Structure 1
Amino acid sequence: MLFKPVRLSLLTQIALLLTIVVIISTFLVSLLFSSMIDEMVESYMGKQAMTVAKLAAQNEKIIDAFQEKNPTVTMQPIAETIRKTTGASYVTIVNTKGIRYTNPNPDSIGKHTATSNDASLLREQSVIYKDTGISGPAIKAKTPIWNEQGKIIGVSSVGFLLNDVEEQTDVYRTKIIQLAMIPLAIGAVGAMIIARRIRKVILGLEPEEISSLFKEKEATLESIRDATIVINTQNQVSSMNRKARLLFGGQTIQKGYVIKEKKLQTLLKEVLTFKEERINQPVVFENQLFIADLSPFLKNGQTEGIVLTARPISEVEKLTEELSQMKAFSENMRSQNHEFLNKLNTLYGLLRLGQYERAMQLISQEVQERQDVISFLVSSVADPMIAACLLGKLNRAKEQQVSLTIDEESSLSLSLTAQEAQQMVSIIGNIIDNALEAARTEKGREGKVSVSFTDFGKEIVFDIEDNGAGVPAHMEERIFQEGYTTKTGENHGIGLTIVQHALQQLGGDLYLSKSQLGGTRFTIVVPKKEEFDGDD
């Protein structure tokens, strides 16, 4: 290509567009006014010509002069005086035969008019029209002259040459153009100011860059695997990504949806007020439990809205379960290592002292104790995940130096699905952890926790009790509220929330009562599924 197309910036395009619009608008307005002035001047001149013509036609001396032998002698001075006084181009008096009695050009006097006094004048009519005479194009007015007997004796013709009219019109046009330059200059300057303002608002980006950036941000938002929702300062949903639409359903939450949940409203207000993010907050949204992060986005120091990232509690529970298993494995290994090291040192001492019989008894006792626990769990608990959870808590209790006992009459012969087992593990695991913590905090090494369970009948029942401080009656409702905790530090207050959510999924209930050990008894009741009812 010989010439490359010139790419104008957005600022230049806007300035040019606005300037062109102002120029065109100014031109059209000027043209309109010019046309209106032409019409107004012509109309005015026509009326002025008719006034002058009637003034001459009603002059008594002119009327009387028609009886004279040489009317020109009397009429010409009067007509010229009228012409000069009114500014008319010519004032001509003619008889009914069209012979001129007066004219600014003396040579034309006595001659026939170039334009005939048509019958309309003889029919008592006055006319205003444009025509070209011996003096050139003009705006003319003609009116009949009447004598005292009411008879038409001649015609009074007055004209204003168009050259004279156009001179006056040009003066008006010049003034219009001069005035039009003012809005034109203001419009051009305003176009530059508006263009610069728009450029500042869009951060100096070109349309292609804005489009590309928008698509990039949209793709980024859509690729986020967590549900992401943008909420404005009026607690209304502005936008959401694909994960959020799938999670909540396209019909439930749409643009403009107003957040109704009280705790979420409180968190939004805190973020807007303090301009600080909130991390890992358990919230209920559309009757679902989520772990949410709330981050404000600012403009000129003011909060424009909040980005809410929500993860379903089931996903968090899954991660928590995996982390708990790894943590439990690590803790079990550490506790077992510590415990076996102590016993190994004891064995070493007994062997060095020659107490071989005592050493054999210690080994037999240890092997028998562990074998009894494992044998009991294997024989009494059909589900391996629940059995593994209980075994892990036994080791956890030893680590915390708290006594954890499982009722020997307990039995759980029902096999659960993987999802049901996972939910049951979340329930009993969190409650046993709370019981161990409560017992250790209140009694130290004298802390005790007791667990019993059965699936006899149509329900699975777990009783977990401790000798901790207990839960006062007036606090029993509050401990299940989102985020409530008596522990210090962050990331607490979610255990019982997870328990409640898991119980809702299973259709179960949780009851609190006074424990015989002195603390609190948690009773978990989960109905069996229909397919297992026939086994009872």
Structure 2
Amino acid sequence: MTNPLRNLKLKTRMTLVLGLMALLQTGFLGLFALNHLNESLEEQVAERALQVAKTIAVMPEIIAAVKASDTAFLQPLSLQLAEVTHARFVVIGDKHGLRLSHPTPERIGKPMNDDDEDGVGGEYNNPALLDGKAYVQKATGSLGVSIRGKTPIVDQGGDIVGIVSVGFILDTVESILARYRTTLLIAILSAFMLSVLIALWFARHFKKAIFGLEPEQIGLLFEERNATLESIREGIIAINAEGVITTFNRAALNTLNLSNKDGLLGQPIQKVLPDSQMISVLENGQPQFDQEVWLGEACFITNRLPVRQDDRIIGVVSSFRPKDELDMVSRKLTRIRQYADSLRSQTHEYSNKLHTIAGLIQIGAAKEALALIGQETENHQALIDLLVAAIPDPVLAGCLLGKYNRARELGLRLIIDSESHMTDIPAHIPRELLVSVIGNLLDNAFEATLSHTGAGGEVSLTMTDLGNDLIFEIEDQGAGIPLEEQARIFERGVSTKGEPNRGIGLHLVNQLLTRMGATIIIEPADLCGSRFTVYIPKKKPSIDPKSTQE
């Protein structure tokens, strides 16, 4: 069954609920107050009736008249006493319970048991006459519903000679209660209206705090948010202003090797990740983008953003993923680019050669055409023989062949030392990282040489795997790198060319070498330019993990 309240706006629902609560509370309090007031008034009336009866019972003339059964004296006196005390009636009876006075003269001389329910078998079993006890009662008598106070009349000898009954009709009590009912009804309606106004104000304030959304919309957004978090491959962790974890996704658990999913919420971030930088972001409010952090032997790329509300920092959200994934994409793109450059260079070079050979054949210079073909074949065959003998690894050999063709396309010469030897490359060194390092260093050498000497310049490469390191030495004929710039050349965005969007290649080289535990040295070349020497240890480095983390 559909809940009709779900079709109402939040403001309407809150107004109805708060108004109904106020109505029920004030109604309950009003009924309780009226009931308590009724009981209190009846107690006061009963106490007054008993006190008046006791006062009349000790009057000497009353005692004497009762003993003498002097109705003529008692009848007008009882009427006068009732008027003076504002009682509904004052009835005086003898020791047998027979009326000696009554507001209705016709009832004089008759038993008082028709006013009470104490008569048994025609005898009057009134406690005041039998036991001498004064008491009060609420009963329906010949004069209607009344509260009565009854007390025995005792002579000087202590004998019970009669009884006095003083009654007050409840009309007075009812009139007082009626006035209070009206007052309470006004109070209830006023409280209801005040509650409605408060509910409207609170609902407006509450709606503003939740950006005008309805509860069902918030629930839907919550479900969408959970689904979104779980669908993201990046790890997500969020903390509140106290540094307590409020949100995380499954990718965060898997990436950071965390467990106890149910116990992670509500835990301080410093307890889960002791050296987390999220606390510093929480304190200074400065976002952090693309930060590299280490956890164990894994490197992560992390972004941390403060969450603000009304210029207050109420939390921090951190996203992170293993750097390996980004490096893998980068390496794949680098290899694709290298293959493309290699193919383009070879296509361009062989196109020129074919045009030259075709021209020689057309003019009848067959010997020259054959000589050119033989020279080209000899040069490439010599390079291929060198690469096959010195570098059995096909990935590195293919990279160098592509760079050789790229240099020729640029009008440069890439000279690979014939004494080079690179056959002992450990399996733990990723070939993609090695190719990225050598490829970027060669590209940098090509640019430096071309910008300084122009076409015809040379770039040399020497390799050796003797000893404990793989050593690569790349020498260019560029303008050289000043000593004061060598410390900054590997920073991102720093370039000796002074052009925008440069300074990426050497920064990437430095990152890759750091990951492999390698070092690089920059020296002036023999004639001009710079010499880059890379030392990559054959032994797998034991990474000293830096503190993380999220």
Name the TM tier (shorter chain).
Answer: 0.7 to 0.9
Given candidates 396, 406, 411, the residue that maps to 2:416 is 406
- Asked whether the 8 Å contact 1:52–1:82 carries over to 2, the reply is no
Matched residue of 2:101: which SS? coil
Offset, 1:9 = 0.4
- Work out whether 1:9 is the aligned partner of 2:11: no
- Asked whether the 8 Å contact 1:142–1:157 carries over to 2, the reply is yes
Segments of structure 1 that go 5 or more residues without pairing to the other structure are 531-536
Residue 404 to residue 212, structure 1, CA distance change in 2 (3 Å): same
Offset, 1:63 = 4.4
- Asked whether the 8 Å contact 1:282–1:494 carries over to 2, the reply is no
Segments of structure 2 that go 5 or more residues without pairing to the other structure are 117-123, 542-550
Given candidates 496, 513, 536, the residue that maps to 1:525 is 536
Matched residue of 1:382: which SS? coil
Residue 66 to residue 18, structure 1, CA distance change in 2 (3 Å): same
Counterpart of 1:321 in structure 2 is 331
CA distance in 2, matches of 1:46, 1:108: 24
1:208-223 map, 5 Å: 211-212=219-220, 214-223=222-231
Residue 8 to residue 168, structure 1, CA distance change in 2 (3 Å): same
Counterpart of 1:127 in structure 2 is 135
| 1:168-206 superposed Cα distances (whole Å, 9 cap, x missing partner) | 323322322232122223334555665666667475557
Residue 408 to residue 388, structure 1, CA distance change in 2 (3 Å): same
Given candidates 284, 289, 292, the residue that maps to 2:293 is 284
* CA-based RMSD: 4.7
1:292-303 map, 5 Å: none
1:187-266 map, 5 Å: 187-188=195-196, 190-191=198-199, 201=210, 203=212, 205=214, 207=216, 211-212=219-220, 214-228=222-236, 238-251=246-259, 255=265, 257=269
Given candidates 454, 462, 482, the residue that maps to 1:452 is 462
CA distance in 2, matches of 1:127, 1:491: 110
Offset, 1:461 = 3.3
Residue 485 to residue 139, structure 1, CA distance change in 2 (3 Å): farther
Which amino acid in 2 is paired with 1:46? A
Counterpart of 1:55 in structure 2 is 55
Counterpart of 1:41 in structure 2 is 41
CA distance in 2, matches of 1:494, 1:108: 125
Bigger mean CA deviation after superposition, 338-347 or 102-111: 338-347
- Asked whether the 8 Å contact 2:150–2:166 carries over to 1, the reply is yes
Which amino acid in 2 is paired with 1:257? I
Which amino acid in 2 is paired with 1:97? H
- Asked whether the 8 Å contact 1:290–1:311 carries over to 2, the reply is yes
Offset, 1:380 = 0.6
Offset, 1:492 = 5.6
Bigger mean CA deviation after superposition, 141-150 or 263-272: 263-272
1:339-378 map, 5 Å: 339=349, 363-378=373-388
- Asked whether the 8 Å contact 2:446–2:459 carries over to 1, the reply is yes
Bigger mean CA deviation after superposition, 193-202 or 241-250: 193-202
CA distance in 1, matches of 2:357, 2:84: 145
- Work out whether 1:461 is the aligned partner of 2:478: no
Counterpart of 1:107 in structure 2 is 106
- Asked whether the 8 Å contact 2:129–2:162 carries over to 1, the reply is no
CA distance in 2, matches of 1:146, 1:403: 145
1:467-482 map, 5 Å: 469-470=480-481, 472=483, 476=487
Offset, 1:352 = 8.8
- Asked whether the 8 Å contact 2:285–2:313 carries over to 1, the reply is no
Q: Give the number of the structure with larger relative contact order, counting CA–CA contacts within 8 Å between residues 6 or more apart.
A: 2
Residue 67 to residue 212, structure 1, CA distance change in 2 (3 Å): closer
CA distance in 1, matches of 2:137, 2:199: 47
CA distance in 1, matches of 2:383, 2:241: 58
Residue 291 to residue 393, structure 1, CA distance change in 2 (3 Å): farther
- Work out whether 1:182 is the aligned partner of 2:190: yes
- Asked whether the 8 Å contact 2:67–2:94 carries over to 1, the reply is no
Given candidates 487, 512, 521, the residue that maps to 2:521 is 512
Residue 225 to residue 67, structure 1, CA distance change in 2 (3 Å): closer
Counterpart of 2:150 in structure 1 is 142
- Work out whether 1:392 is the aligned partner of 2:398: no
CA distance in 2, matches of 1:264, 1:62: 95
CA distance in 1, matches of 2:277, 2:371: 63
Which amino acid in 1 is paired with 2:464? T
- Asked whether the 8 Å contact 2:237–2:248 carries over to 1, the reply is yes
Matched residue of 1:101: which SS? strand
